[in-house]
Structure 1
């Protein structure tokens, strides 16, 4: 591997990551970068574990989703473990899935049937939290070397920070949108029912609690219908 070229491309990728306008775009950029930058990587995806279920984010191939589903069905697998933060490992590398894998006896044979020869995975985390696992696949056994692992780890480190920033930005935009919608709904209520601002807000809060509806959803309905009678 030409490390000077890799570092240059990684720096360019990091700048591009921070320029993405949504979480989905950020994740797709991350997994595409994995196939472009990490030697031996044929496919990549991000796995998030929610209880006993997994979510496949930004997969570059159907094989990634199939692998995630197998791990969910079997309740085991390297990506599944990484996503649930089992053990102290933040990186895994399986050189050859044709070898005996006693840690994942059900998943490994199924993975071989999918045509997976070797795998790597990296926990995506910052000091504040973990987000899931960035997983890389090769159809060939022994495709990933120590250099591949180092390259993948560097990519995952940048990816975790970008993922965190994108989520924060999305949450901020959602909060602003909610505040705008609630403000517009309050204006409608004040005009229609001749209420002062404080009383209009209290009415919305009370109805939100009584109807077990989030304030922003109630506000959206008021904006759509022009009334509280629904």
Structure 2
């Protein structure tokens, strides 16, 4: 048991380092689903489902088409193990999908897919945004206690790596937005012989009048040289 635990710790550390070296949050998500299949006993397919603002449910990364097909059935029926893991902050195990009675509408349709068992873990909670890691196997009872133990540890490591990637994305996006606004201000300053504060006030006013984000407006001005009011 000690050797097994040591091997698992080494493997999870390697996975965490590999995920943290990826670039964007999407790159990290893609790495998570691939590593899940390689690391968690019994997993043959994996996917990540998210809820943005507790409203918009999406499949954001998959190892292949099967997780997307299963998720689509859940979206259409409004029920299923992955949605339960998302909203109820739980780990959900489905040892035998054909015999499960918890989600009748989902189960009756999912039986036609090549899924015998499923295992879902909540991956992250960030404000109103939720994420779940979902694992699939073609045979019933493919996931055991070891799968659950490894899966919980894997999800914890993955959540940390994903949070870091999301933070990098936000910082990159913020820097890009500042650059765009700076370019737009420069165009207005030269065109109308005004200072930086006055140029920014123009952008804010046009943004409010047109009900558009300041970043989008600045990007349009930097790209086309025109503001909506001028066009």
Fold-level similarity (TM above 0.5): yes
SS in 2 for 1:98: helix
Quote how far apart the aligned CAs of 1:128 are.
Answer: 6.4
Where does residue 27 of structure 2 map in the other structure? 25
Quote how far apart the aligned CAs of 1:131 are.
Answer: 2.9
Quote how far apart the aligned CAs of 1:4 are.
Answer: 2.8
5+ long unaligned stretches in structure 2:
none
Where does residue 17 of structure 2 map in the other structure? 15
Change in Cα spacing, 1:108 to 1:90, as seen in structure 2 (3 Å) is same
Task: For residues 77-110 of structure 1, give each alpha carbon's deviation from its aligned partner in whole angstroms, at most 9, with x where no partner exists.
Answer: 0101112x23xx52111111132x2211111232
Q: Distance in 2 between matches of 1:56 and 1:27?
A: 11
Correspondences of 1:1-230 after superposition (within 5 Å):
2-50=4-52, 54-83=57-86, 85-86=87-88, 89-99=89-99, 101-125=100-124, 131-228=130-227, 229-230=230-231
Q: Distance in 1 between matches of 2:83 and 2:226?
A: 48
Change in Cα spacing, 1:53 to 1:172, as seen in structure 2 (3 Å) is closer
Q: Distance in 2 between matches of 1:125 and 1:5?
A: 25
Change in Cα spacing, 1:217 to 1:127, as seen in structure 2 (3 Å) is closer
Contact 1:54 1:69 in 2 (8 A): no
Change in Cα spacing, 1:217 to 1:130, as seen in structure 2 (3 Å) is closer
Point out 4+ residue stretches in structure 1 off by more than 6 angstroms.
none
5+ long unaligned stretches in structure 1:
none
SS in 1 for 2:58: strand
Task: For residues 145-198 of structure 1, give each alpha carbon's deviation from its aligned partner in whole angstroms, at most 9, with x where no partner exists.
Answer: 001100011010111112222112111110110001101110111011111111
Contact 2:49 2:61 in 1 (8 A): no
SS in 2 for 1:44: strand
Q: Distance in 1 between matches of 2:6 and 2:28?
A: 24
Quote how far apart the aligned CAs of 1:123 are.
Answer: 0.5
Task: For residues 61-85 of structure 1, give each alpha carbon's deviation from its aligned partner in whole angstroms, at most 9, with x where no partner exists.
Answer: 11100000001111110101112x2
Contact 1:131 1:160 in 2 (8 A): no
SS in 1 for 2:98: coil
Contact 2:47 2:62 in 1 (8 A): yes
Over the aligned positions, Cα root-mean-square deviation in angstroms equals: 1.8
Q: Distance in 1 between matches of 2:207 and 2:56?
A: 31
Please report the TM-score for the alignment, with normalisation by the length of structure 1.
Answer: 0.92
SS in 1 for 2:62: coil
Quote how far apart the aligned CAs of 1:42 are.
Answer: 0.3
Contact 1:49 1:80 in 2 (8 A): no
Give the number of equivalent residue pairs.
226
Change in Cα spacing, 1:218 to 1:130, as seen in structure 2 (3 Å) is closer
Please report the TM-score for the alignment, with normalisation by the length of structure 2.
Answer: 0.92
